[in-house]
Structure 1
């Protein structure tokens, strides 16, 4: 077990949203699948997982137009995906990942500031905060709406640290994708990679720890970083 306490003074824990805090990837896949079906494109779950999961909608739209050569602009795909997402969120919140609520509460009750940093739009986070009771723990939310360059650029994490009034080196991020981890690490923030997929865990580079779920992550951080 890696111990990194000697080089870290942590004041804030920053959670990614989709795939880390909420189990939204299946819903996002189904929404993209339905959007692309209108253009005669059959999107497989494997293709979505390998190429589009964890990537902001705007970036995915550009890649899809280039890869599929469909008769649509990236802006049109972004609009269609936004409408599908809004419809979903008007009816329900994304379900929480196992251990998400307990993890946020655990760190909050021990005096750490909590943030949510997402490359996606703000609406999904707002629904999570309201419907799952996260609002009592979260001090700051930074979304792709707040920055010019979303993940894997570091801008969203730098902004979160600034809004919390802490240095990036005083933050610890939890991310479920390689691109998300690049954003945190690029901002000078230590990152724990959290994914149920061994393939994804194998992609992480520069993370201080990799594990399968937030329960494991919380235990490791408590024992090896904050203890």
Structure 2
């Protein structure tokens, strides 16, 4: 189960790195075209929340955090935690690893615990980047976490991020003409719905028809 930060970490260290992240993100977005964000006011300002988004690019977590008024704890592929610096930063913000293509019970338990503590959990339910930009089949783990956590869920559809870091690349392409957008759905309490119904709702809100 996740634990709350010690007082010094919560008061000093985390805000410091959040400020650095905000400055870095601001510089990045200034080098690119502005991010058009629709529906930001729909994001609940308190209480546990689960965010679902489509996944076009490795830069998606940065853009999603920029579009969100609250800190997000991301579920990230476990390979990233093998890199010392990246892994340390991910752990500092209580991002957590997930073993892809498996029923990772530890990741599910951690995500549910964070949400029940009133935190925001971010997930990309496709489980991997989309090479073509089309929405990939959604993995059932996202629905399971939502149903177990018992907190509202909200979707954010990202567009244009794959023009910044393209599929298979790691270096950003600073394209001032890129059109970046983030569009939020209405938050919803999905209590009582089946896995299939939850996944259908997610798909309707992060797919191309959203």
TM over 0.5: no
TM-score by length of 2: 0.36
More helix by share: 1
TM-score by length of 1: 0.34
